[in-house]
Structure 1
Amino acid sequence: MSILKVRNLRVSFRVEGRDFQAVKGVSFSVDRGETVALVGESGSGKSVTALSTVSLLGASAAVEGSVQYDGQEMVNADEKLLRKVRGNDISFIFQEPMTSLNPLHTLEKQLGESLALHQGIVGDEARGRILDLLEKVGIRDAESRLTSYPHQLSGGQRQRVMIAMALANKPDILVADEPTTALDVTIQAQILELLAELKKSEGMGLLFITHDLGIVRKIADKVCVMKDGEIVEAGPVAEIFENPQHEYTKTLLNARAAGVPEPVSEDAPVVAETDGLRIWFPIQRGLLRRTVGHVKAVNDATLTVRAGETLGIVGESGSGKTTLALALMRLISSEGGIHFMGEDIRQRNTKSLRALRKDMQIVFQDPFGSLSPRMSCEQIIAEGLGVHGNPDGRDPRDLVAEVMDEVGLDPATMDRYPHEFSGGQRQRIAIARAMILRPKLVVLDEPTSALDMTVQVQIVDLLRNLQKKYGLAYLFISHDLHVVRAMSHKIMVMKQGDVVEAGDASQVFMQPSTDYTRELMAAAD
């Protein structure tokens, strides 16, 4: 029996004085205990369709058609019914956790709010339920995390908290919008297994939105392929994967980052290196804030990356990958040696470091959190030129148009603001902002995690081409081992702050020497 029925759904927005139709006559249904996947490129209308199920698009959207949950019409429903259904009967896991989690509330308060509001569970009972939820979604040492705030967690950990919040009230329907985007492969496998178990035990319907067709094959019963606001092909997963009929579906199925990067010249200079780098964060307690221990984020990490070379850093969320990269760029304090272009930059003060920032750029994991909502796309990308100077002396607008074209963005959209772009498009803006200064070292922190498969291939090709053209050194942090393999010359595997394995990419992938690395490789298949 269908618990969610969508019929001839149409959604349009008023943009620059004219109507833009984002969803065009979409129809599908979700039965109890069934997983339906919506797949397609960024901007195809997947998320807009999902948000329409409980009228979360706001007053700017014109919605037509029918969305029925358990026989109740959701389109133009009164606010009282919608408040009852939202978060209780129909729960959401959103793509970007930092925009969904309250930065002023601890994890315990945020999870407890949902339990108190919908089920009246408070006190010790709520605390026990919260601990159980956090452990289920793979948060280690859950009790010590209850007083943590979102900014104190890694991107993957924040996503797991979002999943725990969505599952708290045992919803009839879970709408999962890219729920595993920020998760490493081992936790991704655990979360998919957890969702499958809940679907079976609770009879929960699952509307799963993703650009990762590998996940669709593992978890979904039916798949709807969307393009330009329409479903171009739909049916059972096995049938669609084995015998796709639409050309666009065939393109998606064939899209995967492949190949290997260009070999590095033997005389390529070393751009960046660390020697025994250690990052420990003090744990302070009591009235006098005495240090009673340390969070050992990174232990004795030694790395070298040369011009034209990519060092891939892999490991679970919270293993220290991003912390290591931030320390290398002198954005957080550390102990041990850090050299950039042959100079020990640990001796530089903040003022003298600024001159080096042009040559050390970073693309963050969460593009929405790193892009100013008050600046246009052009202003965001060109900001570095204003700070560090224009190396070519050309019109900054021309440079912005050029780099936007390089990363697959339409230069005609440079006057728009971040909220007017899809998640994948925002990530491309972040890449363009880093590349416009032509740096020597670029830290890429999950740069393809928000991108659909076809755009992932384009971005990997773009990064390779830019690396070859300008001799860029990359520090490539990712949980997507297929992309890491396509990009990296060398691999470093991290676990709980320790480097457990390092070497040439081909050697690590073909002959991993540790059980942990073998587990990562197996989870990625």
Structure 2
Amino acid sequence: MSALLEVKDLRVSFRQDGRITQAVRGVSFTVGRGETVALVGESGSGKSVSALSTVSLLGDSAIVEGSVTYDGDQMIGASEHRLMEVRGNDISFIFQEPMTSLNPLHTIEKQLAESLALHQSLEGQAARARILDLLTQVGIRDPETRLGAYPHQLSGGQRQRVMIAMALANKPDILIADEPTTALDVTIQAQILDLLADLKKQEDMGLLFITHDLGIVRRIADRVCVMKDGEIVEAGPTEEIFNNPQHAYTRKLLEAEPGGRPDPVAESAQEIVATRDLKVWFPIQKGFLKKTVGHVKAVNPSSISVRQGETLGIVGESGSGKTTMALAIMRLIASEGAVTFQGDDLRKWSTRDLRRLRKDMQIVFQDPFGSLSPRMTCAQIIAEGLPIHNVARDRAPRDLVAEVMTEVGLDPAAMDRYPHEFSGGQRQRIAIARAMILRPKLVVLDEPTSALDMTVQVQIVDLLRDLQRRYGLAYLFISHDLNVVRAMSHQVIVMKQGDVVEHGDAETLFKSPRTDYTRTLLQALV
């Protein structure tokens, strides 16, 4: 197999504040036509830096040495004109964070059309037909209705699918996919992986796949390169690496999968939150008078109950209503139906009264970097809610911050650092500490592990179970990662297009699913 992309002795360093930091040390690998090569490793191992080096996307602070050839042409030191020819046309990227890659001011159709006009000179109806075909390929339902949508109007999974469509638009020779399925639910993840595999075969395309999910690697890759601290510590055929790993770090990655079960819930446990016929429908308004012509049925009448020390897992595809249900329970969006919190009907509470309740109901979001202010120190972020909710005024805030940082596995000595100075896993611990310092009764965990390395996922799951055991917390755990849901949850509800299609004990549901949709979700696990 001829090497379409060949990387030899790649070394990358960054200049910052008069210092030079080495990020990649002597990395070598090849990607042939029709071949999938996976770069695997934890955050900071050099995977993405190595990939971005292939077409000089690292910026002026980077010092890149070694050799990168595409189809025999040297890319390091190539002219900007040559690099522009290759980028997005011959070598295309799918990035992990679609919200930062898509233009928030342009519609989906316009952004896809720009790429087609630039590289294929497609315009008008021909461009629209190609766009609809691409959106259908990547699993966007009713693509005609999405052409005029802006990125913020799509779910995280839908935005990622649009990014994949943009990358595939020009039929590249090499596709570099940097954590492309991180934000996707398992069924769409399986579809995207199958789609990439089919395209690779049809187009004889080389695929460089960057991920921390070894289940995906085993499913899609022909060869694996395991990276640690900027070096490839082990490389070889996929089955050989999985069946007979030689390096201790590779073995550590293979063993890193959330396991175990949460502690059983006491029979006398108090009910923390419950809903009865909770419904969230968003009106569709048209015309000058904004006449309501229909509704987006985000959550159809649903009833749940969560007790002290209990976790309710909420699973389903993007757009199924998981997060909407949680926000309605928190009374952060309008809804119909009853929501009771520790026996009180929240419909009777005024906005002012609800503010007093907020310290007992906290949220940890999916993206720890996006939910932390870059202008605030770790201590300021964690302590932000203390004066608002009048918590522990007899103690110094920094003492409380130090105490909760220790609880979540952070060094209190780092409390004056800023979010960008922490790893992804550490940032998620900061977000958890911000919620836990108020000693809440209910915590909504919205995809809290999806952006994290497998080893860090295990640590966060263990941390959350330990905090639940210690303080009797009730969790609403929203995730598309069914392995994590199984390790965290006592009971699980499965949502599809706003409906709760299955609800039951976690172990029973995983072993004996009653609905075809739940069975489809379980079969899609990689």
Q: TM-score, normalised by structure 1?
A: 0.96
Q: 1:511 and 1:119, CA in 2 relative to 1: closer, same or farther beyond 3 A? A: same
What are the within-5 Å matches in structure 2 for residues 178-257 of structure 1? 178-257=179-258
Contact 1:222–1:236 (8 Å) recurs in 2: yes
Q: 1:417 and 1:176, CA in 2 relative to 1: closer, same or farther beyond 3 A? A: farther
Structure 2 Cα separation of the partners of residues 415 and 20 of structure 1:
23
SS across alignment from 1:194: helix
- 1:495 corresponds to: 496
Structure 2 Cα separation of the partners of residues 379 and 15 of structure 1:
26
What are the within-5 Å matches in structure 2 for residues 49-448 of structure 1? 49-391=50-392, 393-409=394-410, 411=412, 413-448=414-449
Contact 1:371–1:418 (8 Å) recurs in 2: yes
* Structure 1 residue 407 displacement after superposition: 4.1
* Structure 1 residue 411 displacement after superposition: 4.8
Q: 1:169 and 1:15, CA in 2 relative to 1: closer, same or farther beyond 3 A? A: same
Unpaired runs of 5+ residues, structure 1, are none
* Structure 1 residue 198 displacement after superposition: 0.5
Q: 1:509 and 1:231, CA in 2 relative to 1: closer, same or farther beyond 3 A? A: same
Structure 2 Cα separation of the partners of residues 421 and 460 of structure 1:
19
Q: 1:33 and 1:109, CA in 2 relative to 1: closer, same or farther beyond 3 A? A: same
Q: In structure 1, what residue type is equivalent to 2:225?
A: C
Structure 2 Cα separation of the partners of residues 407 and 90 of structure 1:
42
* Structure 1 residue 416 displacement after superposition: 4.1
- 2:485 corresponds to: 484
Unpaired runs of 5+ residues, structure 2, are none
SS across alignment from 1:391: coil
Contact 2:16–2:61 (8 Å) recurs in 1: no
Task: Please list the CA deviations of residues 376-433 of structure 1 after superposition, one character each: whole Å capped at 9, or x if unmatched.
Answer: 3333333223433443754444544554454455555544444444544443333332
- 1:11 corresponds to: 12
Structure 2 Cα separation of the partners of residues 231 and 499 of structure 1:
45
Structure 1 Cα separation of the partners of residues 214 and 401 of structure 2:
33
Q: 1:2 and 1:141, CA in 2 relative to 1: closer, same or farther beyond 3 A? A: same
SS across alignment from 1:368: coil
SS across alignment from 2:55: coil
Structure 1 Cα separation of the partners of residues 408 and 34 of structure 2:
40
Q: 1:51 and 1:406, CA in 2 relative to 1: closer, same or farther beyond 3 A? A: farther
Q: 1:186 and 1:58, CA in 2 relative to 1: closer, same or farther beyond 3 A? A: same
Contact 2:132–2:144 (8 Å) recurs in 1: yes
Q: 1:411 and 1:28, CA in 2 relative to 1: closer, same or farther beyond 3 A? A: farther
Task: Please list the CA deviations of residues 428-479 of structure 1 after superposition, one character each: whole Å capped at 9, or x if unmatched.
Answer: 3333322332221111111110111111111110000000001111100111
* Structure 1 residue 117 displacement after superposition: 1.8
Contact 2:312–2:489 (8 Å) recurs in 1: yes
Q: 1:241 and 1:70, CA in 2 relative to 1: closer, same or farther beyond 3 A? A: same
Structure 1 Cα separation of the partners of residues 297 and 465 of structure 2:
34
Q: TM-score, normalised by structure 2?
A: 0.96
Contact 1:98–1:369 (8 Å) recurs in 2: no
* Structure 1 residue 297 displacement after superposition: 0.6
SS across alignment from 2:141: coil
Structure 1 Cα separation of the partners of residues 380 and 335 of structure 2:
33
* Structure 1 residue 365 displacement after superposition: 1.9
- How many residues in Structure 1 have an aligned counterpart in Structure 2? 525
Range moving further from structure 2, 338-347 or 244-253: 338-347
Q: 1:286 and 1:380, CA in 2 relative to 1: closer, same or farther beyond 3 A? A: same
Q: Percent identity?
A: 76
Q: In structure 2, what residue type is equivalent to 1:434?
A: A
Structure 2 Cα separation of the partners of residues 107 and 372 of structure 1:
28
Q: In structure 2, what residue type is equivalent to 1:284?
A: Q
Range moving further from structure 2, 86-95 or 136-145: 86-95
Task: Please list the CA deviations of residues 350-391 of structure 1 after superposition, one character each: whole Å capped at 9, or x if unmatched.
Answer: 332222221111112233332223333333333223433443
